[in-house]
Amino acid sequence: MNENYNVLNLPDEMLHITLMGGQAKVLMCRTTAMARKAAEIHCPSSTALAAMSRTMTATAMLGVMMKDENASVTVTVAGDGPIGKITAVAHGGKVKISAHHPEADLPLKKDGHLDVGGIVGHNGRLTVIKDLGLKEPYIGQSQLVSGELGEDFAQYFTVSEQQPSLVALGCLVHERYCLSAGGVLVQAMPGCSEEMLEQLEFRSVFFTAISREVADVPLEELAKGWFDGLNMEILSREPVCYQCDCSREKMEKALIALGRKELTQLIDEDGGAELTCHFCRTAHKFTKQDLMELMERASQ
């Protein structure tokens, strides 16, 4: 089955499109390599991988929507399903993710699909924190609708950001391997005509198998077909990827922030420390000597 997909080895990228002179805007992306990287790091079950991939795809969309280079967006999906809390962070199109229980799994649904709604949970909250580098971050929240994530993000945009939106997110998985992943976000802008809304609604059926659609067709070609006759204009295209920005320096800061008392305890009882990043599983090791140097820099 694997060789049937992504034979062209198409890159992960995000297209930003407008329709009918700006009446609607569209983000569409392929996130296959991103999902594969997450699978490599977190070793999730097939169902958990689909949930994580869909969350990353939506987070990448939120990330690229923030124009400022230093801005970041953190998405948490806290449902009552067995995967537990999912946290994804994006700086532009660079995304990283962690989940409490990536190993959790559920049987397939009756229709043969992965039970993403079940593993995330049907009840809970979706929280979006946008850090624009100002004092106060913007925090938006909405209730989960189904846990399938596409609907949940649509609800978030529509209710919390008051931006009527269609969202389709998909990840095609075969035995814990992502064959193809991607998503589409369509937003009606203020002044969007009734006719245009009808057109968007009508064309939303094209997005139902989004993960298959993006597998072996360039995004631009897909968009031309989907939005034929709607005066489609591509504003930008940019790469998206999995990338963790953790560093030894950041870990040092976290250790210093623990304070002298905790550091002394680490030195005396453990003789050092090893901090593992939740997002990339890199272990950062600190010897007794390292910790003593950090202690000098701790204010209390």
Of the two residues 120 and 280, which places its CB atom closer to Zn ion in the complex? Answer: 280
Copy the structure tokens of residue 27. Answer: 């983000």
Query: C-beta of 245: minimal distance to Zn ion in Å?
Result: 7
Closest separation in Å from C-beta 87 to Zn ion: 12
Beta carbon of residue 25, minimum distance to Zn ion (angstroms, whole number): 32
Q: What share of the chain is helix, strand, coil (3-state, %, to 5)?
A: 35, 30, 35
> Residues touching Zn ion: how many (CB under 5 A)?
5
* Minimum distance, C-beta of residue 244 to Zn ion, in the bound complex (Å): 3
Half-sphere exposure of 39 (CA within 13 A, CB side): 26
Q: Are 188 and 200 in contact (CB under 8 A)?
A: yes
The pair of three-digit structure tokens given for residue 131, joined into one six-digit string: 């850090």
3-class secondary-structure state, position 197: helix
What is the DSSP secondary-structure string of 231-251? --EEEEEEE-EE-----HHHH
Cα–Cα distance list, 165 to 25, 150, 160, 280 (Å): 10, 10, 11, 32
Q: Measured between alpha carbons, how far is 140 from 87 in angstroms, rounded to an integer?
A: 15
Which C-beta is closer to Zn ion: that of 97 or that of 277? 277
**Closer CB to Zn ion, residue 100 or residue 237?**
100
Nearer to Zn ion, 200 or 255 (CB): 255
User: Residue 247 Cβ, how far from Zn ion at the closest point, in Å?
Assistant: 8
In angstroms, give the least distance from the CB of 134 to Zn ion.
Answer: 25
Tokens, residue 68: 């400022």
Q: Which parts of 225-284 interact with Zn ion (CB under 5 A)?
A: 244, 246, 277, 279-280
- Cβ closest to Zn ion, residue 122 vs residue 278: 278
Comparing CA positions, the residue from 34, 55, 19 lying closest to residue 223 is 19
Q: Which is nearer to Zn ion, 116 or 280 (CB)?
A: 280
Give the interface with Zn ion as residue ranges (CB under 5 A). 244, 246, 277, 279-280
